[in-house]
Amino acid sequence: MHLKWILVAALLLGSAPIAARAQQAPAKPEVVLPDANKIVLLIRTAILTLNDAVQTGNFTVLRDKAAPAFQARNTAAQLGAIFQNLAGQGVDLSAVSIITPQLTQDPAIDANARLRLKGYFPGDPVRIDFDLLFESVGGRWRLFGVSVTPTTAGASGAPAAAPAPKPDAKKQKK
């Protein structure tokens, strides 16, 4: 009988630290919306990295700088195929380095803790529409989804609504 009480006591005492540990389990770090300067930097960096890939035909850096889920779903060769239309059109996205992006939606963090930035860079004769999704990895925002569409001036005034980018690259057609 004494052994039975020791076993019950051990079970009761053993479960207390587990319950206490469950209450003290570290919560996921809160993802905070970046400030306006950081948002502009994220947009420019993502599109300029895409531009470098399009200009050189080497999509390795774009892939390697992206979030792990993006990397898992896209090889450099697949990204080259996805963005072949940009390369084929001879599109140069470097103007984004000096033009201020115009957001068509307020920056927002979705239910999956991903940051969505949607808007355009005004330009004549070509405007550059973008829809970018970022994921916080180790406290840094990394590209999770990308859609970039050059639009000829005089085309529709506002970019068409598009679904949130998936963790793979997307290129909308003109």
What's the pLDDT tens digit per position in 134-164? 999 999 999 999 999 998 866 554 433 333 3
pTM higher than 0.75 for the full model?
A: no
What does the block give as tokens for 27? 């919560």
Q: What contacts 126, CB < 8 A, 6 or more positions away?
A: 91, 150, 151, 152, 153
Instruction: Say what the pLDDT of residue 52 is.
Output: 97
Residue range 22-42: mean pLDDT, rounded: 79
Q: Which single residue is written with the structure tokens 């180790």?
A: 138
What does each C-alpha distance from 83 to 26, 51, 148, 154, 172 come to in angstroms? 41, 10, 9, 24, 9
Domains assigned to the chain: 30-152 (3.10.450.630)
Q: Which of 149, 140, 164 is nearest to 68 (CA)?
A: 140
Cβ-based neighbour number of residue 19 at 10 Å: 9
The pLDDT-based confidence of 23 (bands split at 50, 70, 90) is low
Residue range 102-128: mean pLDDT, rounded: 95
**H runs (alpha helix) in the chain:** 2-24, 36-56, 60-65, 68-73, 76-82, 84-88
Q: What is the mean pLDDT of the chain?
A: 80
Instruction: Say what the pLDDT of residue 45 is.
Output: 97
